[in-house]
Amino acid sequence: MAEQDKSKIVYTLLIAAFVVVAYNQFALMGISGKMVAQGQKTAETQAGQTEIKYNSLALQQAIDSVIPRGVPEGYGKELGVDYEKPEEALNIMAALDGDLYEDGKIKFSELSVDTQQRYVNMGMSVACEFCCGATTMVFSNGQPSCGCAHSAAMRGLMKYLLVNTDMTDEQIMDEVLKVKSISFPQQMVQRYMEQSGSVQSATTGQAIGGLPQQIGGC
C-alpha cells in the first residue's frame, strides 16, 4: 500500500472516532485507562488503576502511523513547522489563530462565506477534549470554544490551509489530526489501538505509558 494511502486510512479512522465524540459527547475511552478487547479486560494494577498491555509490534506500528515526523509536506517549510520539534510547531501554528489571540494572523471574519462554513463544519467535528473537556473546537458562530494552545494550533492550521491551499476538507482534517497527535501522543495512539482492536487479552506486552500524555500547555 502506498504511503499516502496508508496515511489516509489512519487519519480517516481517527476522524470517524472524533465525529462520534463531537456529536454524541461520549466520555473519552482513553482517560480511565480501561478498555475492552474481544470481551476481555487486560489488567495490571498500578497505583490503583488499570494498565493496559499491548502487543509490542502493534504498538510500535501504531506510533509510527499516528505520530507525524519531520517537516509536513506542502506547508511545513513555509511556516517553519517541524514535527521533530513538536512544542515549537504548536506555537507557530497557534500564532495563526486570530480569533483567540489579538495578534493572530488569520481571523474567522476575514474568511469568505463559503470558507467560513467549511471551517465551522470541520471545527465542530474535532475537539481538544484530552486537556479541557471541550466537545468541539469552535462554536457554531466560528469562534473558539476552547482557549488552550493545542486547540489554537488546530484552528490556526485549519484556517491557514483553507486560505492558502486547494486541499479538500478531508485533507485538511488529516493535517489537523496530526497536530492533535503531536499534542497528545499517548491518548491518540491509545485511541488508534482501540479502534484497530490491537489490545492484548494478556498481562504480557508493552504499556502505552511511555508516551507523553501532553506536549505544550493548556
Q: Cβ contacts of residue 183 below 8 Å, gap of 6+?
A: 86, 90, 128, 130, 150, 153, 214, 215, 216
64 falls within a domain: yes
pLDDT above 80 for 70: yes
Q: What's the total number of domains in the chain? A: 1
Q: Considering the domain boundaries, does residue 47 fall inside one?
A: yes
- pLDDT, tens digit, for every residue of 176-195? 999 999 999 999 999 998 88
Q: Is residue 16 part of a domain?
A: yes
Cα torsion through 129, 51, 36, 212, rounded to 10: 30
Inside any domain, residue 215: no
Range of the domain at 188: 3-210
Instruction: Please choose, from the candidates 216, 205, 157, 218, the residue with its C-alpha nearest in 3D space to the C-alpha of residue 54.
Output: 205
pTM, to two decimals: 0.75
What is the mean predicted confidence (pLDDT) over 14-29? 42
More confident residue, 205 or 118: 118
- Contact predicate 93/79, CB 8 Å: yes
What per-residue confidence (pLDDT) applies to 93? 97
Over residues 126-130, mean pLDDT? 89
* Residue 127 main-chain phi, psi, to 5 deg: -145, 170
217 torsion bin: left (phi>0), alpha (psi -120 to 50), beta (else)? beta
